[in-house]
Chains A and B, each alone.
Chain A
Amino acid sequence: METFFNVWHYDGRSAVRRKVEIQTIGRQFFLLENERRHGPFAFSDVEYVTRKEDVDVYGLTDVDGWRLMLSGPVPDELSELLPVQRKYGGWVDRLGLGKATIAFTLASAAAVAIVLLSPQWLAPLIPDSIDRQLGDALVGDFGGRFCSTPAGDAALKKLVNSLDRNPQDLQVEVAKIDMINAVALPGGKVILFDGLVKQARSPDEVAGVLAHEIGHVREKHVMQALLRQMGLAVVLGGVDGNSGALVNNMLAMSYSRESEAEADAHSMKALGTANISPVGTASFFDRLSELDGSARDGDNGQGIAGYMSSHPLSRARKQAFEKSIVKGRNYKPALTPTEWTELKTMCTQDRKAKSGFGFEFE
């Protein structure tokens, strides 16, 4: 077959450019250069490489640098045998830009949705042993910041026992840190910060906050939030340099509104079972929201901001606790006055416990 469009050829062995003609024989072809004949080559081995200006460039499988360059009107008989051009890449070319954009948008939305929703399904599947190991690896003894006195421990144990049916799964500690905050961490660990215990006006307040954190543990919110955070990090732009702040993030981790509501519900139920009045918790929230407005310049400002950022206070939350008060019921205080004093002064009494954060917190 003679052709009048231009065909150039590089054999990939040297840089010599050869003007050739294509001689097609069935599914194979030769390249004719003056007296020389290159080939035979199989059309099935030809692959599209690129387009340079008005020249289509083809390569040959497994022959490095082999090039066939066609310019001018390529005869239909030949172009039918050649591979199609590539523009955007596989899928986009097959679908077209518009359809591909829509398809990718849907796929991305689905991916984000899966990442946001799947922790709810995945978290319960993670075995407790892993959860526990993670918690131990992460928290350990909290750098020796946990306070302990025999009487204080006993009071704390009594509080936990009254609020949870399986207290042996939980590790509740008071940490010598002057911040109004409480966190739930993997492995059933709940840490009450001494600042929160000290400012509480009754053991009932501490009971409500503690029950709320236990709620996060029991509803598997901790693992959910952890999975969600890692999933988002992967989907949205791979690893960012700050993923090491994972633990810090977790301390300041904000759960979803639903999780908070669930933890509150858990707290109210546990208080009811323990026959502890929710009044204290409601007034605790009340005080916090008042402090939020006025204490920005004070020392406590940071502590409150810490609790507020992880537990957004809303009127609705306070009202929910107020509503759960059963009128005429004979509530008992969560701890006796002696026990309460022991718990409150535990960190002051325990001189071995280290105080504050020996490292950057934010």
Chain B
Amino acid sequence: MNDDPAQRHSAFRFHGNWQEFARIAFPNLLLTIVTLGIYRFWATTREREYLWSKTDFIDERLEWTGRGIELFIGFIMVFLLIGLPIIVIQFISQGLIFRGQTAVAGIVTIAMFVLLFYLSGVAYFRALRYRLSRTYWRGIRGGSNNPGFGYGLSYMWKNFVGVLPIFLLVPWSMISLWNERWNSMSFGPHSFESTARWQPLMKRYLLFYLVPFLLFFGAITLAVAAATSGADIGALGGAGMAVGGILVVIAILGLYIILPLAALAYYSKYFRIAVGGLRLHNLEFEFRARAPNWILFFLANMAIVICTLGIGYIFMPYRNWKFFIDHLEAYGEINIDELTQSETVVSKHGEGLLDAFDVGAI
């Protein structure tokens, strides 16, 4: 049985609606509050069950089989293995500072941050692995046999190298890490192949990178112009104030509007290139959201959260997933007979590590 998704409108379709999601999200909020947050693991699970079950890939819905208890166990493990040692380490380093051994305390603290950075890399990897291993399509799941400890090291040195030349190699480190992450993943018998290139990202990155400089020089130019013209129309007095006001407005525009817009423009390109470089056997992927889509998406999210005085925040998982699926596309073909069960190991604990570091989805 062969399916050719290229002939269809879209291989991925999302059928959910926010009213249905609300019937899950509000009880979740209630239960999360009355359990002092402990229910949030089960809440996440219920939300994913809904979102996945409303997502079609070709002719069958996805299935989320993760359990709340897995996320909970993951969280407890992180607390015992990382949280408590961190408290102890900070306790010790505080004691060292009191004893005047500031240098030793500094080393201990730096070592702790390096370790945390390493672990956050491992966390990214394992979260993706966990999500793939709990996602079923036609009874087949994904996963990885790689525990992600090596990825943690890559995460450290690649980020370091990316930042080292005054942040200019950040696109390289982001794409390179994306490729490394996905090349370790598989679905059914097939490995993902990720061959995204970072060079096409540079133009967009430089745009984002240069915005602060452009703003800075723009402001300088204006200030110089104001100073020179101020000599002529100094009698007006108000002119200087007006120019000052314009400068303030430009600075605010730059900080709160132009910079985030440039960041979004960069991120949209990054995500498009990253997903575009992904391949699963004979399937190719594409992410079609462009910068204006992302900007509208974020503006709408902000409007929803603000207009509902924050309650709208509980709809963000729904909005994120819908945005993701609506713009995700796959081409190529799948041979259903060849798509056999994944042989990868399945860990019993969820993405506690990622949860602990509080980094976002996808």
Contact = CB atoms under 8 A, between A and B. Distances in A.
Contacts of B136: 65, 67
A111 interface: yes
Interface stretch (B61-69, B216-224, B236-244, B285-293): B61-69
A51 B52 CA distance: 10
Contacts of A143: 97-100
B46 interface: yes
B31 A140 contact: no
A98 to B, nearest CB: 10
Interface string A102-143: 001101100110000000000000000000000001111111
Contacts of B137: 15
A1 interface: no
Interface stretch (A153-161, A198-206, A241-249, A335-343): A241-249
B53 A51 contact: yes
A357 to B, nearest CB: 10
A142 B34 contact: no
A104 to B, nearest CB: 4
Interface string B100-133: 1010000000000000000000000000000000
Contact of A108 (B35, B68, B98): B35
B36 interface: yes
Contacts of A243: 86-87, 90
A238 B75 contact: yes
A67 B84 CA distance: 41
Given A15-B138, A57-B63, A238-B83, A247 B53 contact: no
A325 interface: no
B276 interface: no
Nearest to B59: A17
Interface stretch (A6-14, A26-34, A208-216, A297-305): A6-14
A40 interface: no
Given A65-B139, A140-B98, A140-B99, A12 B341 contact: yes
Interface in A48-83: 49-53, 57, 59, 64-67
Contacts of A144: 100
B139 A11 contact: yes
A25 interface: no
Nearest to A104: B34
Interface size bracket, B side? 35 or more
Contacts of B34: 101, 104-105, 108
A349 B209 CA distance: 57
A13 B53 contact: no
A64 B341 contact: yes
Given A15-B139, A89-B68, A246-B94, A104 B31 contact: yes
A138 B340 CA distance: 59
Contacts, number: 150
B4 interface: no
Contacts of A293: none
Contacts of B36: 108, 111-112, 235-237
Contacts of A10: 138-140
Interface in B1-46: 1, 15, 27, 30-31, 34-37, 39, 42, 45-46
B93 interface: yes
Given A52-B53, A88-B31, A14 B336 contact: yes
B337 interface: yes
A358 B100 contact: yes
Interface in A222-238: 235-238
Contacts of A89: 42, 45-46, 68
A175 to B, nearest CB: 10
A16 interface: yes
Nearest to A185: B98
B73 to A, nearest CB: 14
A97 interface: yes
Contact of A17 (B75, B97, B138): B138
A119 to B, nearest CB: 17
B139 A67 contact: yes
B314 interface: no
A247 to B, nearest CB: 4
A239 B87 contact: yes
Nearest to A10: B139
Contacts of A244: 86-87, 90-91, 93-94
Given A52-B53, A64-B141, A358-B100, A15 B31 contact: no
Contacts of A64: 141, 341-342, 346
B307 to A, nearest CB: 27
Contacts of A12: 139-140, 341
Nearest to B188: A15
Contacts of A15: 137-140, 188, 334, 336-337, 339-340
Nearest to B32: A104
Contacts of B61: 52-53
A88 B87 contact: no
B37 A17 contact: no
B63 to A, nearest CB: 6
Contacts of B341: 12-14, 64-65
Contact of B46 (A88, A138, A140): A88
A359 interface: yes
Nearest to B335: A15
B79 interface: yes
A247 B206 CA distance: 44
B150 interface: no
14 contacts: A10-B140, A13-B341, A16-B337, A17-B138, A53-B53, A88-B27, A88-B46, A97-B27, A138-B91, A243-B90, A244-B86, A246-B90, A247-B94, A358-B102
Q: 5 smallest A-B Cβ distances: which pairs?
A: A244-B90, A10-B139, A143-B100, A140-B99, A65-B139
